[in-house]
Amino acid sequence: MRGRPKRLRIIGFNPETTYFKPAGVPMRMLEEEILTLDEVEAIRLSDLEDLNQEQAAEKMGISRITYLRILHQAHNKVAKSLILGKAIRMKGGDIMPNYDGTGPRGQGPLTGRKGGLGRGQGQGLGGTNQCVCSKCGETTPHAKGVPCSQTKCPKCGSPMRGDFCK
């Protein structure tokens, strides 16, 4: 008999840069720590947004105990990476990135499970200079630190994407 399925965690941030590594060390020489997107969200809510446990757990749609477990795992992985010189890759997790319950990129509720970015989506490349509307083609300058997918098109209101994704 199986237990109940994991509840999808709501995240309000999808990082464009998804890989960090120590400078001067070739990638083939590095071990990786995988930081799931729900772990990244827990760090963001606690350490950047300065929310307490109850507030952060509520934003993610999970219990306070689950939130604390996720946060502890995230801090442990980041500490290992910094102390032992490992790379950090951010991907996957049981997530529901959009607050409206549609999953990553508005593709439906199951596309967030176990893959993070849905079918056919790679890791965020970062470094784009312009955000492009996938519907009308309008371009706007990229706001550093804000993923293009969280920027709305000024003409039609659709989500934007980086110009490298055309």
pLDDT tens, residue by residue, 44-53: 999 999 999 9
Q: Which domain holds residue 74?
A: 9-122
- Give the side-chain half-sphere CA count within 13 A for 116: 21
Structure-block tokens of residue 26: 């070739």
Instruction: Note whether 21 and 96 are same-domain residues.
Output: yes
Instruction: Note whether 93 and 146 are same-domain residues.
Output: no
Number of independent structural domains in the chain: 2
Higher-confidence position of 159 and 53: 53
Would you tell me how many other CB atoms lie within 10 Å of the CB of residue 2?
4
Instruction: Note whether 27 and 102 are same-domain residues.
Output: yes
pTM greater than the 0.85 cutoff:
no
H/E stretch holding 20 reads: strand 19-20
Would the pLDDT of 120 be above 70? no
Instruction: Note whether 108 and 52 are same-domain residues.
Output: yes
Angle value at C-alpha 123, between 112 and 98, nearest 5 degrees: 35
Instruction: Note whether 95 and 164 are same-domain residues.
Output: no
Cα torsion 144, 146, 152, 158: sign:
positive
149 in Cβ contact with 105 (< 8 Å): yes
Instruction: Note whether 104 and 144 are same-domain residues.
Output: no
Instruction: Note whether 129 and 62 are same-domain residues.
Output: no
Note the pLDDT of residue 105.
47
Instruction: Note whether 104 and 134 are same-domain residues.
Output: no
Instruction: Note whether 73 and 115 are same-domain residues.
Output: yes
Instruction: Note whether 86 and 54 are same-domain residues.
Output: yes
Note the pLDDT of residue 117.
41
Instruction: Note whether 87 and 153 are same-domain residues.
Output: no
CA distance linking residue 47 with residue 113, whole number of Å: 25
| pLDDT per residue as tens digits for the range 54-77 | 999 999 889 999 999 999 999 999
2 in any annotated domain: no
Any idea which of 93-102, 106-115, 123-132 has the lowest mean pLDDT? 106-115
Instruction: Note whether 118 and 129 are same-domain residues.
Output: no
